[in-house]
Structure 1
Amino acid sequence: MKQIHNIVLLVFIIFIDVSLAAKKSRKDPVVSEEDAVAWLNKFGYNPCLNSAVQCSLSFPSLMEEYQKRYRLKVTGKLDDATKKQMNRPRCGIADKPVALNAAAITTSKWTHSSLTYSLRGFPTQLSQTQTTNIIREAFQAWTDHVPLRIEPVCSTCSANFTINFFREEHSDAYAFDGSGGTLAHAFFPEDGRVHFDKDEAWTERLAWF
Structure 2
Amino acid sequence: MISALWSAVFLVQLSCLQGAPIFGGSFNFSLDVQGYLHNFGYLKSNGSAPIIPSVNIFSEAIKTFQQFAHLPVTGQADEGTVKKMAAPRCGVSDAAVNGLQRFVLGGSKWPDKSLTWAVSSYTKQLNESVVDAQLTKAWKVWSDNTNLTFTKAAKGQTPNFDIFFAKGDHKDGFAFDGKGKVLAHAFYPRNGRIHFDEDEIWAPSGRPERDGTNLFQVAAHEFGHALGLDHSKVETALMAPFYRYSAKDDILTKDDISGIQTIYPLGKTADIRLAESSLD
Q: TM-score, normalised by structure 2?
A: 0.56
| Deviation by residue 1:127-157 (Cα, 9 ceiling, x = unmatched) | 1111111111111222223211111014653
Aligned to 1:7: none
SS of residue paired to 1:194? strand
1:133/1:34 CA distance change after superposition, 3 Å: closer
- In 2: Cα distance, 1:191 partner to 1:171 partner: 15
Aligned to 1:67: 66
Query: Structure 1: which 4+ aligned runs deviate by more than 4 Å?
Result: none
The total of aligned residue pairs comes to 173
Is the contact between residue 88 and residue 182 of structure 2 (CA under 8 Å) also seen in structure 1?
Answer: yes
Aligned to 1:19: none
Aligned to 1:32: 29
| Deviation by residue 1:51-77 (Cα, 9 ceiling, x = unmatched) | 8xx983323222112111112111111
Question: How far apart are residue 89 of structure 1 and its match?
Answer: 0.6
Question: How far apart are residue 124 of structure 1 and its match?
Answer: 2.4
Kindly indicate whether residue 43 of structure 2 is the aligned counterpart of residue 46 of structure 1. yes
Is the contact between residue 120 and residue 156 of structure 1 (CA under 8 Å) also seen in structure 2?
Answer: no
Question: Aligned AA for 2:46?
Answer: N
Kindly indicate whether residue 187 of structure 2 is the aligned counterpart of residue 181 of structure 1. no
Aligned to 1:138: 138
Kindly indicate whether residue 80 of structure 2 is the aligned counterpart of residue 81 of structure 1. yes
| Deviation by residue 1:176-195 (Cα, 9 ceiling, x = unmatched) | 11111111111111111100
Identical columns (%): 35
Question: Aligned AA for 1:41?
Answer: H
Question: How far apart are residue 92 of structure 1 and its match?
Answer: 0.6
Aligned to 1:151: 151
Question: How far apart are residue 206 of structure 1 and its match?
Answer: 6.3
| Deviation by residue 1:96-144 (Cα, 9 ceiling, x = unmatched) | 379xxxxx94431111101100112222221111111111111122222
Structure 1: gaps (5+ residues): 1-29, 99-103
Which protein is richer in strand relative to its size? 1
Aligned to 2:113: 113
SS of residue paired to 1:131? helix
Is the contact between residue 33 and residue 78 of structure 1 (CA under 8 Å) also seen in structure 2?
Answer: no
Is the contact between residue 114 and residue 149 of structure 1 (CA under 8 Å) also seen in structure 2?
Answer: yes
Is the contact between residue 117 and residue 150 of structure 1 (CA under 8 Å) also seen in structure 2?
Answer: yes
Q: Which has the larger radius of gyration?
A: 2
Aligned to 1:25: none
Is the contact between residue 119 and residue 154 of structure 1 (CA under 8 Å) also seen in structure 2?
Answer: no
Give the aligned CA root-mean-square deviation in angstroms.
Answer: 2.8
1:144/1:206 CA distance change after superposition, 3 Å: farther
- In 2: Cα distance, 1:45 partner to 1:160 partner: 31
Is the contact between residue 165 and residue 196 of structure 1 (CA under 8 Å) also seen in structure 2?
Answer: yes
Question: How far apart are residue 31 of structure 1 and its match?
Answer: 5.1
1:127/1:82 CA distance change after superposition, 3 Å: same
| Deviation by residue 1:9-65 (Cα, 9 ceiling, x = unmatched) | xxxxxxxxxxxxxxxxxxxxx953871111111111112x328xx983323222112
Is the contact between residue 40 and residue 94 of structure 2 (CA under 8 Å) also seen in structure 1?
Answer: yes
Is the contact between residue 166 and residue 195 of structure 2 (CA under 8 Å) also seen in structure 1?
Answer: yes
- In 1: Cα distance, 2:124 partner to 2:107 partner: 36
- In 1: Cα distance, 2:96 partner to 2:170 partner: 21
